[in-house]
Amino acid sequence: MKNATRVFVSTFGSIWALAGIEHGIGEVLQGNVAPSGVMFSSWPDAAFFHSLNGEPAMTVIPNLFITGILTILFSLALLIWALLFVQRKNGGLVMIFLSFMMLLVGGGIFPPILGILVGIVATRMHAPARVKGFDGFRRFLAKLWPWSYITCLIAWLAMFPGLAFLGYFWGVNDSTVILALLLVALGVSILAVFSGFAYDAQMETSA
């Protein structure tokens, strides 16, 4: 089992699960009413989420209270799975399923989609390294693992909940800033995934 990959999967699976729970709380607080459509805002009247357009989400259930309860339940299941069970065989597939259900019942747009991507990474947790020789580039990637992981964590926390804090306290609501942060977060995520793969392969080869 690949330890760096598990750390990445558990960390970011948990973050997206917590983001889903936050969406669900906003939906429950809206009460026993129908959403405005398949797409709606989890926090439509919250000033804190104004810069994030009220936290968009989608649902196939015509009741926001039930939507919120289901969102919290699926998100909580994802959180527990990411922390305790994702290392099991087919753990990544379960994470993908839970994230997809989050998407359908109001867990937001970005959190479940990113949860699915993390689940795809998790499916590689038990794959053999298939590394015959460990060249300089792989060794370089392996050395980047802790730094890329930390940078990735900071970048996503700058997005969620960082953007909400920037918008609420300092009035930052610039689409250019949001896009730049998103591109940085996605870029360092790719680096963290592949440096984690290289680190795990190096550990497996050494063993």
Average pLDDT of the segment spanning 169-174: 85
Q: For residue 207, what pLDDT band results from cuts at 50, 70 and 90? A: low
DSSP codes joined into one string, 9-77:
HHHHHHHHHHHHHHHHHHHHHT-S---SSSEEESSTT-GGGGGGTT-EEEBSSS-HHHHHHHHHHHHHH
Q: What is the pLDDT, as a whole number, of residue 126? A: 79
Average pLDDT of the segment spanning 47-61: 94
Q: For residue 133, what pLDDT band results from cuts at 50, 70 and 90? A: low
Contact between 202 and 134 (Cβ < 8 Å): yes
Average pLDDT of the segment spanning 38-59: 95
Q: Which residue has the tokens 């989890």?
A: 42
Cα 142 → chain centroid:
23
Please state, in angstroms and rounded to a whole number, the distance separating the CA atoms of residues 21 and 72: 5
Q: What is the pLDDT, as a whole number, of residue 51? A: 86
**Ramachandran quadrant class, 128 (left: phi over 0; alpha: psi -120 to 50; beta: rest):** beta
- Greatest C-alpha distance within the chain: 60
Q: Judge whether residue 1 has pLDDT over 70.
A: no
Q: Which two tokens stand for residue 68?
A: 């919120």
Q: Which two tokens stand for residue 165?
A: 């804090």
Average pLDDT of the segment spanning 116-144: 82
Q: What are 103-126's pLDDT values in tens digits?
A: 999 999 999 999 999 999 999 987
Residue 128's φ and ψ, nearest 5 degrees, are: -65, 150
Task: Decide which of 201 and 117 is more confident.
Answer: 117
What ranges do the domains of the chain cover?
3-206
Q: Judge whether residue 31 has pLDDT over 90.
A: yes
Q: What is the pLDDT, as a whole number, of residue 206? A: 73
N residues, the chain: 207
Task: Decide which of 101 and 129 is more confident.
Answer: 101
Please state, in angstroms and rounded to a whole number, the distance separating the CA atoms of residues 189 and 202: 20
pTM: 0.93
Q: For residue 183, what pLDDT band results from cuts at 50, 70 and 90? A: very high
Q: What is the pLDDT, as a whole number, of residue 130? A: 58
Residue 108's φ and ψ, nearest 5 degrees, are: 90, -175
